[in-house]
DNA sequence: GTGCGACATGTTTGCGCAAGCATCATGACT
DNA sequence: AGTCATGATGCTTGCGCAAACATGTCGCAC
């Protein structure tokens, strides 16, 4: 349906068009959308009818510019390749959309130059809040974040010097807790599979926790480091092979992430290694991939979805001007004992 | 103009600030960013130095309004709860970011009212392109999409009446192909587990394909429908129980999605049912959850990541003014035979 | 040395909306 | 009857940038 007074060319609809049809000013249409309680009921009804008739969709870009708030919350993840962060994004999305925000997604890949490009692309959209699943490394990146002047939540860790707010847990403590839990299960010669890449800070922190636990127990360290930069099933399988070769005396092995543990577990089955009799295997994360498929793996459960939900709630609060109770939310972790250790 | 040259209040930086520092006009800064080849090298160097010194981040909201293009590509998924679409989003993200676009994420949940709210929130951002992983159902939603005047790709299916472009496969054909494949493996009394919810159109289409195959083979149908609206492991387990109860003669069962098949497979193990000897089990999707965990399931592989990558490529082309070769891209499917059937 | 074109840069304007204040009507209270 | 509070709506302006056009400045051909 073409509005009778439509100027030539099928221009996009503006508030003016709605206003004209409803017999009010543009500003009243704006009010009917943003603060409907300030518009008289009949007027509002006319405006809503006009919007419905025209299928009008307000231009939020223009609105963002004028109001100096975008209604966007940015989520920055390193990669989607592993679906590790999917539950966190899901939790964030739910919290954000419930409060009327829309999610802007950025994935940084793994290079530092990309990191800065990404950050500019994201911050240039003037999001009202930012959730990070990865730390940013370059000084400039940190400066840009701070200068953006919006609430920021870092997640999945407890950084020593947070940029702003935090929802996470201590990866060092969690790594230590896993090692101590294995000790508690009766294992005495505990090994650890850890990444070699500096980029996997969290994995290295878990390794650090393992080391502390070993030192506390007065036990020798048995470490296997990955070859490649990414933790895959294959790396896990290779790590098991290395372990049997280099630390044949080990009676249990914790891995810095479930994916590795799953690979190790499958390799152990292939080799006929009795799990957990000859070797206990534990993972980290309790990611969806392992449990449903019957691996029944002992692991450290991290409430990824809650991290996202809590991060979203904190951002929404801060955007509304409130100050969330704790600026650093330790979401903790939980050893889940299943049959692999 | 009210702005003196003093940024006394800590206003956000604008191009004017960069321009002043570099001794050029605002427009030249804009050009240095958007069409650097049109700016003299020394001038450009001065501008870039000024931007670096100030840590200037251009306001893409204002830019979007002025240029009437946002640089956003919207991805609309029904839910993140199951990570099914994660690879598709990853593929899209890669293609889009390589071309300088940023991803706007929307999840529609499962209600039709949410559907329209979501669409308004997304289209209001004036994305330059939209990828849908789910069909929109209300007439108004379809009208809004069409009226947005941007390229749209529907995915994971081949709709009878596409809104615009398509990257997907025929769920009917794929369902039929799976049934025929099981027949080819020697199974003769083939059952099918399908959703009951009207919202899972794809699952119902696969069921339709199964029915066709059965009719072609002159074989009776053996159907199990889910109780709940969502396909879970538990539903899969329950479906296996129903199957053994109601169709004890069945020698194979195909499920409309891997999650169900995984649940069925685990339940079969628990009950000591010999798979594939007594019963073959096949899934659909080849999702990451099953394979790594050692379920070794026969399934229908869908190249989810390619769907996203191809959708992104098509959108980018269309945004650039080109016409992608096929507007409907059939990405196909592939039976992957493993040990469960 | 004049003219013309190619390039580099500047000026003006408006994208569509919301903040802030102005205006107007109505009714309650003194 | 006069005053003022209250609520409803309108008017003007500017958010920060990019498109379109205008201007300036060279060099080169003749």
Nearest nucleotide, C1' to the C-alpha of B35? D18
Nearest nucleotide, C1' to the C-alpha of A35? C18
Predicted pLDDT of residue B7: 41
| Residue A306 neighbours by CB distance under 10 Å | 16
Taking the alpha carbons at both ends of chain B, their separation in whole angstroms is: 75
CB A279, CB A250: distance < 8 Å: yes
Which of A106-115, A275-284, B35-44, B192-201 bottoms out in mean pLDDT, i.e. has the lowest? A106-115
What phi and psi values does residue B169 have, to the nearest 5 degrees?
-155, 165
Predicted pLDDT of residue B86: 84
CB A167, CB A311: distance < 8 Å: yes
CA distance B341 to B339: 6
Tens-place pLDDT, residues A65-114: 999 999 999 999 887 766 678 889 989 999 999 999 999 998 876 566 77
**Strand C reaches within 7 A of the A162 CB:** no
Residue in the block written with tokens 């379809």: B142
Residue in the block written with tokens 């702003």: A164
Average pLDDT over residues A271-286: 94
Residue A1 has pLDDT above 50, yes or no: no
Predicted pLDDT of residue A197: 84
Our CA-based measurement puts residue B216 at a distance from the nearest CA of chain A, in whole angstroms, of 34
Q: What angle do CA A148, A153, A155 make, to 5 degrees?
A: 140
DSSP B39-69: S-HHHHHHHHHHHHHHT----HHHHHHHHT-
CA distance B332 to B329: 9
Average pLDDT over residues B239-268: 95
With CA atoms as reference, the chain B residue closest to A296 would be B293
Q: Test B105 with A105 for CB contact under 8 angstroms.
A: yes
- Residues 6 or more apart whose CB falls under 8 angstroms from that of A245 comprise none
What phi and psi values does residue B18 have, to the nearest 5 degrees?
-65, -45
Which of B82, B83, B101 should we substitute to test contact with A (largest number of A Cβ atoms within 10 Å)? B83
Q: Test B123 with A292 for CB contact under 8 angstroms.
A: no
Average pLDDT over residues B79-88: 77
Q: Which of B57, B105, B140 sits opposite A103 (nearest CB)?
A: B105
Strand (E) or helix (H) holding B27: helix B26-34
Total CB pairs under 8 A between chain A and B = 158
Q: Which of A57, A104, A293 sits opposite B290 (nearest CB)?
A: A293
Tens-place pLDDT, residues A40-70: 999 999 999 999 999 999 999 999 999 999 9
Predicted pLDDT of residue B131: 96
Residue in the block written with tokens 């096949």: B282
Please list every residue in chain A whose beta carbon sits closer than 8 Å to the beta carbon of residue B70.
61
CA distance B236 to B194: 10
B195-211 burial code (b ≥16 CB/10 A, e <16): bebebbbbbbbbbbbbb
B216-247 burial code (b ≥16 CB/10 A, e <16): eeeeeebebebeeebbbbebbbbbbebbbeeb
Predicted pLDDT of residue A294: 65
Which residues are registered as beta bridge partners of A194?
A225
Q: Measure, in angstroms, how far nucleotide C22 C1' is from residue A319 CA.
A: 31
Structure tokens at B288: 């990451």
Q: Which of A118, A124, A290 sits opposite B293 (nearest CB)?
A: A290
CA B65 vs CA A10, A141, A276, B317: distances in Å:
18, 26, 61, 22
Q: Test A293 with B262 for CB contact under 8 angstroms.
A: yes
Please list every residue in chain A whose beta carbon sits closer than 8 Å to the beta carbon of residue B104.
102-105
| Residue B100 neighbours by CB distance under 10 Å | 10
Q: Measure, in angstroms, how far nucleotide D29 C1' is from residue B26 CA.
A: 36
Please list every residue in chain A whose beta carbon sits closer than 8 Å to the beta carbon of residue B79.
90
CB A297, CB A275: distance < 8 Å: no
Please list every residue in chain B whose beta carbon sits closer than 8 Å to the beta carbon of residue A12.
149
Report residue B2's pLDDT band, with 50, 70 and 90 as the boundaries.
very low
Residue A3 has pLDDT above 70, yes or no: no
Q: Which of residues 47-76 of A touch strand D (CB under 7 A)?
A: 62, 65-66, 68
Q: Which of B61, B103, B295 sits opposite A65 (nearest CB)?
A: B61
- Residues 6 or more apart whose CB falls under 8 angstroms from that of A142 comprise A136, A163
Tens-place pLDDT, residues B283-302: 999 887 666 566 789 999 99
Please list every residue in chain A whose beta carbon sits closer than 8 Å to the beta carbon of residue B83.
83, 86, 288
Which of A2, A69, A125, A255 should we substitute to test contact with B (largest number of B Cβ atoms within 10 Å)? A125
Report residue B308's pLDDT band, with 50, 70 and 90 as the boundaries.
very high
CB B131, CB B75: distance < 8 Å: yes
Our CA-based measurement puts residue A81 at a distance from the nearest CA of chain B, in whole angstroms, of 6
- Residues 6 or more apart whose CB falls under 8 angstroms from that of B180 comprise B213, B216, B217
- pLDDT over 90 for what percent of chain A? 73
**Strand D reaches within 7 A of the B94 CB:** no
Average pLDDT over residues A177-199: 95
DSSP A11-29: PPP-HHHHHHHHTS-HHHH
Residue B79 has pLDDT above 80, yes or no: no
Q: Is the dihedral of CA A271, A272, A278, A279 positive or negative?
A: positive
- pLDDT over 90 for what percent of chain B? 73
Predicted pLDDT of residue B247: 96
- Within 7 Å of a protein beta carbon, the nucleotides of strand C are 7-12, 14-20
Nearest nucleotide, C1' to the C-alpha of B38? C8
| Residue B121 neighbours by CB distance under 10 Å | 20
Please list every residue in chain A whose beta carbon sits closer than 8 Å to the beta carbon of residue B281.
none
Contacts 24+ apart (CB under 8 A), A43-48: A46/A22, A47/A18, A47/A19, A47/A22
What is residue B274's three-state secondary structure? coil
Predicted pLDDT of residue B197: 84
What phi and psi values does residue B121 have, to the nearest 5 degrees?
-65, -40
Q: Are strands B102-107 and B72-77 parallel, antiparallel or unpaired?
A: parallel
Report residue A287's pLDDT band, with 50, 70 and 90 as the boundaries.
confident
What phi and psi values does residue A136 have, to the nearest 5 degrees?
-100, 145
Report residue B81's pLDDT band, with 50, 70 and 90 as the boundaries.
low
CA A191 vs CA A172, A219, A246, A296, A304: distances in Å:
16, 10, 11, 20, 26
DSSP state for residue A298 in the 8-state scheme = B
Q: Which of B86, B120, B233 sits opposite A292 (nearest CB)?
A: B233
Average pLDDT for chain B: 90
**Strand D reaches within 7 A of the B33 CB:** yes
CA distance B59 to B63: 6
Residue B244 has pLDDT above 60, yes or no: yes
CB A179, CB A158: distance < 8 Å: no
DSSP A261-296: HHHHHHHHHHHT--TTTT-EEE-SB--TTTTTTT--
Q: Measure, in angstroms, how far nucleotide D27 C1' is from residue B274 CA.
A: 88
Please list every residue in chain A whose beta carbon sits closer than 8 Å to the beta carbon of residue B89.
80, 105
CA B250 vs CA A311, B37, B207, B327, B329: distances in Å:
49, 69, 16, 41, 36
Nearest 10 degrees: Cα torsion B28, B30, B33, B37? -40
Length of chain A: 341
Nearest nucleotide, C1' to the C-alpha of B60? D17
Predicted pLDDT of residue A2: 32
DSSP state for residue B167 in the 8-state scheme = E
Structure tokens at B19: 């321009």
Please list every residue in chain B whose beta carbon sits closer than 8 Å to the beta carbon of residue A121.
60, 97, 102
Contacts 24+ apart (CB under 8 A), B172-175: B172/B205, B172/B206, B172/B208, B172/B209, B172/B212, B173/B209, B173/B333, B174/B206, B174/B209, B174/B284, B174/B300, B174/B302, B174/B333, B175/B205, B175/B206, B175/B207, B175/B208, B175/B209, B175/B210, B175/B213, B175/B254, B175/B256, B175/B284
| Residue A177 neighbours by CB distance under 10 Å | 22
Tens-place pLDDT, residues B147-184: 899 999 999 999 998 999 999 999 999 999 999 999 99
Q: Test A106 with B102 for CB contact under 8 angstroms.
A: yes
Predicted pLDDT of residue B1: 35
Report residue B59's pLDDT band, with 50, 70 and 90 as the boundaries.
very high
- pLDDT over 70 for what percent of chain A? 93
Nearest Cα neighbor of A319 from A118, A163, A164 is A164
**Strand C reaches within 7 A of the B25 CB:** yes
Structure tokens at A144: 């840009």
Which of A10-14, A253-257, B243-247, B262-266 bottoms out in mean pLDDT, i.e. has the lowest? A10-14
Q: Which of residues 50-69 of A touch strand C (CB under 7 A)?
A: 58-59, 62-63, 65-67
């Amino acid at each position: 349906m073409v509005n009778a007074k439509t100027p030539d060319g099928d221009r996009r609809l503006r508030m003016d068009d709605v206003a004209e049809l409803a017999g009010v000013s543009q500003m009243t249409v704006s009010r009917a959308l943003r603060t409907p309680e300030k518009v008289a009921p009949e007027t509002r009804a006319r405006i809503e009818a006009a919007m419905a008739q025209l299928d009008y969709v307000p231009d939020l870009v223009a609105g963002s510019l004028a109001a100096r708030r975008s209604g966007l919350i940015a989520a920055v993840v390193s990669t989607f390749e592993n679906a590790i962060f999917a539950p966190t994004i899901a939790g964030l999305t739910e919290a954000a959309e419930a409060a009327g925000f829309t999610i802007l997604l950025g994935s940084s890949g793994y290079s530092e130059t990309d990191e800065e490009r990404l950050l500019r692309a994201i911050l240039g959209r003037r999001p009202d809040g930012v959730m990070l699943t990865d730390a940013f490394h370059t000084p400039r990146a940190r400066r840009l974040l701070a200068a953006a002047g919006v609430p920021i939540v870092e997640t999945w860790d407890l950084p020593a010097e947070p940029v702003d707010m935090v929802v996470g847990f201590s990866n060092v403590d969690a790594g230590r807790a896993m090692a101590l839990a294995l000790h508690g299960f009766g294992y005495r010669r505990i090994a650890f599979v850890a990444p070699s890449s500096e980029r996997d800070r969290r994995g290295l922190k878990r390794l650090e926790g393992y080391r502390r636990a070993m030192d506390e127990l007065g036990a020798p360290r048995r470490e296997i480091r990955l070859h490649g930069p990414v933790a895959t099933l294959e790396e896990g399988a290779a790590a098991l092979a290395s372990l049997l070769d280099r630390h044949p005396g080990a009676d249990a092995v914790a891995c810095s992430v479930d994916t590795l543990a799953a690979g190790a577990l499958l390799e152990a089955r292939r080799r006929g290694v009795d799990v957990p009799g000859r070797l206990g295997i534990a993972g980290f994360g309790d990611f969806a991939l392992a449990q449903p498929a019957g691996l029944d793996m002992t692991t450290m459960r991290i409430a990824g979805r809650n991290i996202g939900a809590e991060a979203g709630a904190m951002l929404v609060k801060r955007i509304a001007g409130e100050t969330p109770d704790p600026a650093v939310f330790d979401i903790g972790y939980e050893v889940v004992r299943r049959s692999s250790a």
